[in-house]
A = this chain, B = another copy of it.
Amino acid sequence: MSEVYAVRRGLLRDRYAAAGSAAALVSRPANVRYLAGGAPPGAVLLLGPADDVLLCPRAPTGAPAHGRPDEGLRVSVLAGTDDDPVVAAAALAGGLDAGSLSVEEHDLTVSRHRAMGSAAPGLRLCDLGTSVEQLRLVKDEEEIACLRIAAEITDQALGELLESILVGRTERHLALELERRLVDHGADGPAFATSVGTGPHSGQGRHRPTDRRVEEGDFLSVCLGANYHGYRCEIGRTFVIGTSPADWQIELYDLVFAAQRAGREALRPGAGYRDVDHAARHLLVSAGHSDCLRPSTGHGVGLEIDEDPQLAPTAMGKLDACVPVTVEPGVHLPGRGGVRIDDTLVVRPEADGGPELLTITTKELLAL
């Protein structure tokens, strides 16, 4: 396992060395974890100019949050309780005459960046940009295996909920129960705040559960996902409560289903991000729903629940094999509710059978 992290750090080293830096400081938590294999909260990773060091704030109590750091890394726990690891890293790099240090300017606050400059006046701070995020785009099979387990757990939690009585229960309670079931089945926790929307709340992307109760005739939308060893997946389904969906419900469901299928079928190595979005979006726009669409049709998943790529109308770039993404079009009609269908899939070449669907709960319109 240790090798994986060393290889990743080597790839990053090539990037910042090519940009003329002797060292880099990685501070964004998901990026630290990606390169270190596990780190206590607040830890940062200094790569070069000598050996790589994971700098950890003092006095982490309780179990390590995300597994243990790679054994190939030197771990340094700061002495002072108020010490900021990024400032300590700057002092260390400055003391080693690194010359320049690449930092994640999209993560560091202005105050921390300034404190780094003060701690190492001779050090030139430059921008590492989103180099680590770019390395994280394409997943290896071990990462995909974690996502696959996360999806299995998610399907199990959702499947159990569907077997229970739903009418009369509140959105908040259903959301909490889903989260409990995720943990029951082995999740480290929910991948994000579980969303449950009933009736007029249904069909929204990240609706926060309220005290509204499930009623006969409602649409019920749920969106949940497990975090398994740090990897996060997502599933969204919409159901109808009661025996006979109304005509408008069937019609809307069929439309969103068709859009979601079109999006899934557009996933292939080389497909433009915007083309996948268009495949799903244009069906909803043609049906007159352009006003109520969300800015993107899907997004990457991995160590964060919402990472690159964004499947959106203005997104630049093309999909690669082994990139996991969500496809999650939806329509929400204000005052009435709506439908949202969301899967996590891994982009695969056609020769390998096309996109690998991780979240396999049925997408038929179930009447519960």
Contact = CB atoms under 8 A, between A and B. Distances in A.
Interface string A158-202: 000000000000001100100110010000000000010100010
Contact of A62 (B127, B208, B314): B208
A243 interface: no
B294 A201 contact: no
Contacts of A62: 195, 197, 201, 204-208
Interface string A29-61: 000000000000000000000000000001101
Interface of A: 58-59, 61-63, 65, 81-82, 103, 105-111, 113-114, 127, 172-173, 176, 179-180, 183, 195, 197, 201, 204-208, 210, 294-295, 312, 314, 332
Instruction: Give the residue among A59, A111, A332 with the most B Cβ atoms within 10 A.
Output: A111
B105 A59 contact: no
Contact of A295 (B63, B81, B172, B294): B81
Contact of A172 (B107, B183, B205, B314): B183
A65 B207 CA distance: 9
B295 A61 contact: no
Contacts of A206: 61-62
Given A105-B111, A106-B109, 8 more contacts: A59-B294, A61-B332, A62-B197, A62-B206, A63-B207, A81-B295, A82-B295, A109-B109
A259 to B, nearest CB: 17
A41 B337 CA distance: 22
Instruction: Give the residue among A106, A176, A210, A294 with the most B Cβ atoms within 10 A.
Output: A176
Contacts of A61: 204-207, 294, 332
Nearest to A65: B208
A133 to B, nearest CB: 13
A204 B183 CA distance: 22
A59 B206 CA distance: 11
Contacts of A108: 109-110
